Amino acid sequence: MKRALQDITKEIDIECSTNIEIENLATLKNSIKSSLSFFHDKKYLADLKTTKAAAVILEEQYANELPSGVIALVTPNPYKKMAEATELFAYKPTTKTFEPKVDATTQLCDSVRCGKDATIGANSVVMSNVFIGENVSIGENCIIYPNVTIYHNTKIGNNCIIHSGTVIGSDGFGFVSRDNSNIKFYQIGNVIIENFVEIGANTTIDRATLGSTIIKSHAKLDNLIQVGHNCEIGEYSIIVSQVGLSGSTKLGMGVVMGGQSATAGHLKIGDKAMIAARGGVTKTLDGGKIYGGFPAVDIRLWRKTQAALMRLVKKK
Protein backbone atom coordinates (compact mmCIF):
# COMPACT_ATOMS: atom_id res chain seq x y z
CA MET A 1 0.00 0.00 0.00
CA LYS A 2 1.45 3.35 -1.07
CA ARG A 3 0.37 6.78 0.16
CA ALA A 4 1.61 10.29 -0.39
CA LEU A 5 3.31 11.65 2.72
CA GLN A 6 1.32 14.88 2.60
CA ASP A 7 -1.93 12.88 2.48
CA ILE A 8 -0.83 11.00 5.61
CA THR A 9 0.23 14.14 7.48
CA LYS A 10 -3.02 15.88 6.57
CA GLU A 11 -4.99 12.99 8.09
CA ILE A 12 -3.00 13.06 11.33
CA ASP A 13 -2.72 16.87 11.50
CA ILE A 14 1.04 17.37 11.19
CA GLU A 15 2.62 20.02 8.98
CA CYS A 16 4.72 18.75 6.08
CA SER A 17 6.10 20.69 3.13
CA THR A 18 7.72 17.75 1.33
CA ASN A 19 5.68 15.25 -0.66
CA ILE A 20 7.12 11.79 -1.27
CA GLU A 21 5.62 8.33 -1.54
CA ILE A 22 5.43 6.17 1.61
CA GLU A 23 5.21 2.40 1.12
CA ASN A 24 5.05 1.20 4.71
CA LEU A 25 5.25 2.01 8.40
CA ALA A 26 8.23 0.58 10.24
CA THR A 27 10.38 0.79 13.33
CA LEU A 28 13.40 3.05 13.21
CA LYS A 29 15.74 0.08 13.00
CA ASN A 30 13.86 -1.76 10.25
CA SER A 31 12.93 1.20 8.08
CA ILE A 32 13.83 1.55 4.41
CA LYS A 33 14.03 4.69 2.30
CA SER A 34 10.25 4.64 1.66
CA SER A 35 9.20 4.06 5.30
CA LEU A 36 7.46 6.30 7.79
CA SER A 37 8.63 5.76 11.36
CA PHE A 38 8.37 7.41 14.78
CA PHE A 39 10.49 8.14 17.86
CA HIS A 40 8.94 8.36 21.33
CA ASP A 41 11.48 6.94 23.79
CA LYS A 42 15.10 7.96 24.47
CA LYS A 43 16.21 4.33 24.69
CA TYR A 44 15.83 4.21 20.88
CA LEU A 45 18.05 7.26 20.33
CA ALA A 46 20.80 5.20 18.69
CA ASP A 47 18.27 3.83 16.20
CA LEU A 48 17.03 7.36 15.50
CA LYS A 49 20.54 8.50 14.59
CA THR A 50 21.00 5.67 12.06
CA THR A 51 17.49 5.16 10.70
CA LYS A 52 16.99 4.81 6.95
CA ALA A 53 13.36 5.99 7.09
CA ALA A 54 12.09 8.62 4.68
CA ALA A 55 10.35 10.49 7.48
CA VAL A 56 10.09 10.24 11.27
CA ILE A 57 7.38 11.52 13.60
CA LEU A 58 9.07 12.95 16.69
CA GLU A 59 9.26 15.79 19.20
CA GLU A 60 11.03 18.97 18.08
CA GLN A 61 13.90 18.59 20.55
CA TYR A 62 15.09 15.42 18.76
CA ALA A 63 14.79 16.64 15.17
CA ASN A 64 18.50 17.51 14.96
CA GLU A 65 19.40 13.87 15.76
CA LEU A 66 18.00 12.64 12.43
CA PRO A 67 20.37 11.56 9.66
CA SER A 68 20.75 13.95 6.75
CA GLY A 69 17.84 13.82 4.34
CA VAL A 70 15.31 12.28 6.72
CA ILE A 71 12.16 14.39 7.02
CA ALA A 72 11.22 15.48 10.55
CA LEU A 73 7.47 15.46 11.27
CA VAL A 74 7.28 17.43 14.49
CA THR A 75 4.56 16.91 17.10
CA PRO A 76 4.35 16.89 20.92
CA ASN A 77 2.65 13.45 20.79
CA PRO A 78 4.55 11.20 18.36
CA TYR A 79 3.16 7.92 19.74
CA LYS A 80 -0.43 9.12 19.33
CA LYS A 81 0.22 10.45 15.83
CA MET A 82 1.82 7.18 14.75
CA ALA A 83 -1.21 5.33 16.11
CA GLU A 84 -3.43 7.53 13.96
CA ALA A 85 -1.21 6.82 10.95
CA THR A 86 -1.51 3.05 11.43
CA GLU A 87 -5.24 3.26 10.75
CA LEU A 88 -4.44 4.46 7.22
CA PHE A 89 -2.39 1.31 6.58
CA ALA A 90 -4.57 -1.15 8.50
CA TYR A 91 -5.75 -4.39 6.91
CA LYS A 92 -9.32 -4.26 5.60
CA PRO A 93 -11.16 -7.50 6.47
CA THR A 94 -13.29 -9.23 3.86
CA THR A 95 -15.62 -12.22 3.82
CA LYS A 96 -14.50 -13.33 0.35
CA THR A 97 -12.84 -16.73 0.08
CA PHE A 98 -10.48 -18.07 -2.55
CA GLU A 99 -8.91 -21.32 -3.61
CA PRO A 100 -5.42 -21.65 -2.15
CA LYS A 101 -2.36 -22.55 -4.15
CA VAL A 102 -1.54 -26.15 -3.20
CA ASP A 103 0.59 -29.10 -4.26
CA ALA A 104 -0.94 -32.32 -5.58
CA THR A 105 0.01 -33.99 -2.29
CA THR A 106 -1.61 -31.34 -0.04
CA GLN A 107 -4.67 -32.54 1.90
CA LEU A 108 -7.45 -30.04 2.70
CA CYS A 109 -10.82 -30.71 4.31
CA ASP A 110 -13.80 -29.31 2.41
CA SER A 111 -14.58 -26.96 5.31
CA VAL A 112 -11.23 -25.14 5.12
CA ARG A 113 -11.62 -21.49 4.11
CA CYS A 114 -8.82 -19.37 2.65
CA GLY A 115 -8.20 -15.73 1.82
CA LYS A 116 -6.61 -14.43 -1.35
CA ASP A 117 -3.12 -15.66 -2.29
CA ALA A 118 -2.88 -18.32 0.42
CA THR A 119 -0.36 -21.09 -0.31
CA ILE A 120 0.02 -24.53 1.30
CA GLY A 121 3.02 -26.74 0.65
CA ALA A 122 3.48 -30.37 -0.36
CA ASN A 123 2.37 -33.15 2.00
CA SER A 124 0.71 -30.72 4.40
CA VAL A 125 -2.60 -31.68 6.03
CA VAL A 126 -5.20 -29.05 6.93
CA MET A 127 -8.18 -30.38 8.90
CA SER A 128 -11.78 -29.24 9.28
CA ASN A 129 -12.94 -25.67 9.98
CA VAL A 130 -9.50 -24.11 9.63
CA PHE A 131 -9.36 -20.49 8.44
CA ILE A 132 -6.27 -19.37 6.52
CA GLY A 133 -6.14 -15.64 5.84
CA GLU A 134 -5.00 -13.56 2.91
CA ASN A 135 -1.38 -13.91 1.81
CA VAL A 136 -0.65 -16.70 4.31
CA SER A 137 2.03 -19.21 3.37
CA ILE A 138 2.28 -22.66 4.98
CA GLY A 139 5.27 -24.84 4.14
CA GLU A 140 5.71 -28.52 3.44
CA ASN A 141 4.87 -31.45 5.75
CA CYS A 142 2.78 -29.36 8.14
CA ILE A 143 -0.24 -30.53 10.14
CA ILE A 144 -2.93 -27.99 10.97
CA TYR A 145 -5.51 -29.50 13.33
CA PRO A 146 -9.24 -28.54 13.39
CA ASN A 147 -10.48 -25.04 14.27
CA VAL A 148 -7.15 -23.26 13.89
CA THR A 149 -7.30 -19.61 12.77
CA ILE A 150 -4.35 -18.14 10.88
CA TYR A 151 -4.68 -14.41 10.16
CA HIS A 152 -3.44 -12.56 7.08
CA ASN A 153 0.25 -12.32 6.13
CA THR A 154 1.37 -15.09 8.51
CA LYS A 155 4.36 -17.13 7.32
CA ILE A 156 4.73 -20.73 8.51
CA GLY A 157 7.74 -22.85 7.61
CA ASN A 158 8.13 -26.59 6.96
CA ASN A 159 7.38 -29.51 9.29
CA CYS A 160 5.25 -27.51 11.72
CA ILE A 161 2.36 -28.84 13.84
CA ILE A 162 -0.39 -26.51 15.05
CA HIS A 163 -3.02 -27.94 17.38
CA SER A 164 -6.73 -27.23 17.64
CA GLY A 165 -8.08 -23.87 18.69
CA THR A 166 -4.85 -21.97 18.21
CA VAL A 167 -5.03 -18.41 16.85
CA ILE A 168 -2.03 -17.01 15.01
CA GLY A 169 -1.80 -13.38 13.97
CA SER A 170 -4.59 -11.75 15.95
CA ASP A 171 -4.02 -8.12 16.93
CA GLY A 172 -1.48 -7.32 19.58
CA PHE A 173 -2.86 -5.32 22.52
CA GLY A 174 -1.89 -1.81 21.48
CA PHE A 175 -3.66 1.37 22.57
CA VAL A 176 -2.68 4.96 23.28
CA SER A 177 -4.48 6.41 26.30
CA ARG A 178 -5.10 10.11 25.78
CA ASP A 179 -7.84 12.50 26.91
CA ASN A 180 -10.03 9.82 28.50
CA SER A 181 -9.94 7.68 25.36
CA ASN A 182 -8.05 4.61 24.17
CA ILE A 183 -6.81 5.15 20.61
CA LYS A 184 -6.12 1.90 18.77
CA PHE A 185 -2.58 1.42 17.51
CA TYR A 186 -3.40 -0.80 14.54
CA GLN A 187 -1.24 -3.89 14.37
CA ILE A 188 0.11 -3.94 10.84
CA GLY A 189 2.98 -6.40 11.25
CA ASN A 190 2.77 -10.18 10.96
CA VAL A 191 3.80 -13.50 12.51
CA ILE A 192 6.66 -15.65 11.23
CA ILE A 193 6.90 -19.27 12.37
CA GLU A 194 10.04 -21.04 11.23
CA ASN A 195 10.66 -24.78 10.62
CA PHE A 196 9.92 -27.70 12.98
CA VAL A 197 7.84 -25.63 15.38
CA GLU A 198 5.00 -27.25 17.34
CA ILE A 199 2.24 -25.14 18.91
CA GLY A 200 -0.21 -26.62 21.41
CA ALA A 201 -3.99 -26.24 21.61
CA ASN A 202 -5.67 -22.89 22.35
CA THR A 203 -2.46 -20.90 22.18
CA THR A 204 -2.55 -17.32 20.87
CA ILE A 205 0.28 -15.59 19.04
CA ASP A 206 -0.23 -11.89 18.36
CA ARG A 207 0.88 -10.21 15.17
CA ALA A 208 3.51 -7.49 15.49
CA THR A 209 2.63 -3.83 15.77
CA LEU A 210 5.33 -3.09 13.20
CA GLY A 211 7.67 -5.79 11.89
CA SER A 212 7.21 -9.42 12.92
CA THR A 213 6.47 -11.66 15.89
CA ILE A 214 8.90 -14.56 15.38
CA ILE A 215 8.87 -18.17 16.59
CA LYS A 216 12.22 -19.63 15.57
CA SER A 217 12.99 -23.15 14.35
CA HIS A 218 12.46 -26.15 16.64
CA ALA A 219 10.71 -24.13 19.35
CA LYS A 220 7.98 -26.09 21.16
CA LEU A 221 4.97 -24.36 22.70
CA ASP A 222 2.50 -26.11 25.00
CA ASN A 223 -1.24 -25.45 25.29
CA LEU A 224 -2.82 -22.22 26.55
CA ILE A 225 0.09 -19.84 25.95
CA GLN A 226 -0.14 -16.11 25.20
CA VAL A 227 2.61 -14.64 23.02
CA GLY A 228 2.37 -10.85 22.76
CA HIS A 229 3.12 -8.65 19.77
CA ASN A 230 6.72 -8.37 18.54
CA CYS A 231 7.95 -11.20 20.76
CA GLU A 232 10.77 -13.43 19.57
CA ILE A 233 11.16 -17.01 20.78
CA GLY A 234 14.58 -18.50 20.10
CA GLU A 235 15.51 -21.80 18.50
CA TYR A 236 14.86 -24.95 20.57
CA SER A 237 13.04 -23.04 23.29
CA ILE A 238 10.41 -24.87 25.35
CA ILE A 239 7.42 -22.90 26.61
CA VAL A 240 5.15 -24.75 29.04
CA SER A 241 1.39 -24.33 29.53
CA GLN A 242 -0.12 -21.01 30.64
CA VAL A 243 3.01 -18.94 30.06
CA GLY A 244 2.40 -15.29 29.17
CA LEU A 245 4.93 -13.25 27.20
CA SER A 246 4.32 -9.49 27.15
CA GLY A 247 5.01 -7.51 24.01
CA SER A 248 8.57 -7.29 22.62
CA THR A 249 9.98 -9.99 24.91
CA LYS A 250 13.02 -11.63 23.30
CA LEU A 251 13.95 -15.19 24.29
CA GLY A 252 17.35 -16.54 23.30
CA MET A 253 18.13 -20.03 22.06
CA GLY A 254 17.04 -22.95 24.22
CA VAL A 255 15.16 -20.95 26.85
CA VAL A 256 12.81 -23.02 29.04
CA MET A 257 9.83 -21.37 30.75
CA GLY A 258 7.91 -23.39 33.34
CA GLY A 259 4.13 -23.44 33.70
CA GLN A 260 2.40 -20.14 34.50
CA SER A 261 5.62 -18.16 34.34
CA ALA A 262 5.46 -14.77 32.65
CA THR A 263 7.43 -11.76 31.56
CA ALA A 264 7.05 -8.01 31.53
CA GLY A 265 7.52 -6.43 28.12
CA HIS A 266 10.59 -5.11 26.30
CA LEU A 267 13.15 -7.37 27.96
CA LYS A 268 15.53 -10.15 26.96
CA ILE A 269 16.18 -13.60 28.40
CA GLY A 270 19.57 -15.05 27.45
CA ASP A 271 20.35 -18.37 25.78
CA LYS A 272 19.56 -21.52 27.78
CA ALA A 273 18.09 -19.69 30.73
CA MET A 274 15.37 -21.52 32.67
CA ILE A 275 12.43 -19.88 34.44
CA ALA A 276 10.80 -22.01 37.14
CA ALA A 277 7.03 -22.45 37.25
CA ARG A 278 5.19 -19.23 38.21
CA GLY A 279 8.36 -17.20 37.90
CA GLY A 280 7.78 -13.55 37.10
CA VAL A 281 10.46 -11.94 34.92
CA THR A 282 10.58 -8.17 35.39
CA LYS A 283 13.97 -7.32 33.86
CA THR A 284 16.49 -8.63 31.34
CA LEU A 285 18.15 -11.88 32.52
CA ASP A 286 21.48 -13.48 31.63
CA GLY A 287 21.55 -16.82 29.87
CA GLY A 288 22.73 -20.15 31.27
CA LYS A 289 21.10 -19.74 34.69
CA ILE A 290 17.96 -20.94 36.46
CA TYR A 291 15.59 -18.35 37.89
CA GLY A 292 12.56 -18.55 40.15
CA GLY A 293 10.12 -16.45 42.14
CA PHE A 294 8.64 -13.00 41.67
CA PRO A 295 10.49 -10.96 40.74
CA ALA A 296 12.59 -13.74 39.21
CA VAL A 297 16.08 -14.10 40.73
CA ASP A 298 18.71 -16.84 40.76
CA ILE A 299 16.81 -19.88 41.96
CA ARG A 300 19.29 -20.59 44.77
CA LEU A 301 18.63 -17.13 46.20
CA TRP A 302 14.89 -17.62 45.79
CA ARG A 303 15.02 -20.96 47.65
CA LYS A 304 17.08 -19.45 50.49
CA THR A 305 14.60 -16.58 50.73
CA GLN A 306 11.66 -18.97 50.96
CA ALA A 307 13.42 -21.06 53.60
CA ALA A 308 14.24 -17.95 55.65
CA LEU A 309 10.64 -16.77 55.49
CA MET A 310 9.44 -20.16 56.63
CA ARG A 311 11.80 -20.10 59.61
CA LEU A 312 10.53 -16.65 60.59
CA VAL A 313 6.93 -17.86 60.45
CA LYS A 314 7.69 -20.95 62.54
CA LYS A 315 9.32 -18.83 65.29
CA LYS A 316 6.03 -17.05 65.97
| Burial tier of 174 (Cβ tally within 10 Å: 0-12, 13-18, 19+) | buried
Distance CA 233, CA 236 (A): 9
Please indicate whether residue 229 is annotated as part of the active site: yes
Backbone phi, then psi, for 141, in 5-degree steps?
60, 35
Q: Are 71 and 55 in contact (CB under 8 A)?
A: yes
Residues contacting 247, CB < 8 A, separation 6+: 172, 173, 174, 206, 209, 228, 229, 230, 231, 265, 266
Report yes or no: 32 and 26 within 8 Å, Cβ to Cβ. yes
- Which residue from 220, 171, 225, 219 is spatially nearest to 202, judged by alpha carbons? 225
Angle at which helices 5-12 and 78-89 cross, to 10°: 120
Decide: 216 and 255 in contact? Cβ < 8 Å: no
Among candidate residues 152, 163, 218, 229, the one labeled active-site is 229
Contact 78, 39 (CB under 8 A): yes
**Pick from 242, 236, 238, 244: nearest CA to 257:** 238
Rounded (5°) CA angle 237-239-134: 90
Known catalytic residues are 229
